[in-house]
Amino acid sequence: MSMIRPFDPTDILRFNNVNSDAWTATYHNGYYASYTAQWPDFCVAVEGAFDPSIKAYMIAKHEPPAPDPQHHGHLTALSIAPEYRSLGLARTLMNLLESLSGSNPRISNHNHIPEDEHDHSNCGGHHDHHPHAHGDEAEVEVDSEGSQEGNIDGVDAWFVDLFVRCNNKRAIEMYEKMGYSVYRRVVDYYHGMEGIGSTRDELDGFDMRKSMPKDSTKRYVRFNGKDILVSPDQVWA
C-alpha cells in the first residue's frame, strides 16, 4: 500500500531514488519550499505505507490569480521512481491536478492505493513566474481506477499546462493519451538544463495543454501547436 500525502520540503532529503533519472530536473531547495508554501494542495508525494522512501511526487501550481484570462493549472514536476512506473501513479497524480484545476474536483480525506495495484504492474522547467499564494491542503481518496471522490472545489482554471522535452517520447505519449496536445514548441526552453544531451529535441520543450471544463469552446488549445515555434521570452511575457 502507498499513500499520497502533501509534499513536505524535507522530502528533498530522500527523493534521490526518484530524481536520479535523466528526465527529471532537480531544482534548488528553496524552489520546493516555495511551492509547498504557496500551493500546498498542488504538491504531493507518494510514500510506501511501510517503507518511508519516496515513490513519486508531483509539484504543481495555478497562476496567474483568477479572474485573469490566463488562469491555469501548471505541472512543474512529475516523476515516478523507476520500479513504480506503469502502475498508474502518473495517471493518479494528473487526475488530482486536473481535479484541483478544474471546476468539479472530487476530493476528500486520505488516499490509499491498494498494494495489488503495484504488483500488476519533470516536466516543468523554468515556468516559475507570477508567484502568489493559494489554498488549503487537501488529500485525495483515489479508487482502484485512479478517480477521486469528494467535495472540495477546484480553482476553476481555463486549462492545465506543462513543459516536456521534445524527445521525452514516453511522457509525451502519456500526456497525449490523457488528452493533452502541443500548444507550441519553445525553442531552447531547456537551455542551461542540458542534463541528457544537447540535440535540438533535447533542448526544446513542448508546451502541452488540456482544456478544463471552463474552456468549453477550446480556445486555449490548438491543433497545429508543433508548428508554432516561440522563444522562452515569449513564454514568460
Ligand X SMILES: CC(C)(COP(=O)(O)OP(=O)(O)OC[C@H]1O[C@@H](n2cnc3c(N)ncnc32)[C@H](O)[C@@H]1OP(=O)(O)O)[C@@H](O)C(=O)NCCC(=O)NCCS
Q: Enumerate binding residues for ligand X (CB under 6 A).
A: 21, 23-24, 78-80, 85-91, 122-123, 162, 164, 168, 170-171, 173-174, 177
Rounded Cα gap, residues 63 and 26, in angstroms: 22
Write down the least CB distance from residue 223 to ligand X, Å. 20
> Measured from the CB atom, is 153 or 198 closer to ligand X?
198
Residue where the block lists cell 481555463 = 158
Using a 10 angstrom Cβ sphere, with 0-12 exposed, 13-18 middle and 19 or more buried, the burial of residue 20 is exposed
> Measured from the CB atom, is 2 or 168 closer to ligand X?
168
The three cell numbers of residue 146 are 485512479
Write down the least CB distance from residue 63 to ligand X, Å. 18
CA atoms 62, 28, 47, 124: torsion sign = positive
> Measured from the CB atom, is 85 or 134 closer to ligand X?
85
Write down the least CB distance from residue 205 to ligand X, Å. 9
What does residue 77 show for φ and ψ, rounded to 5 degrees? -150, 135
> Measured from the CB atom, is 59 or 157 closer to ligand X?
59
By Cβ distance, which residue is nearest to ligand X? Answer: 123
The three cell numbers of residue 204 are 526544446
Write down the least CB distance from residue 222 to ligand X, Å. 20
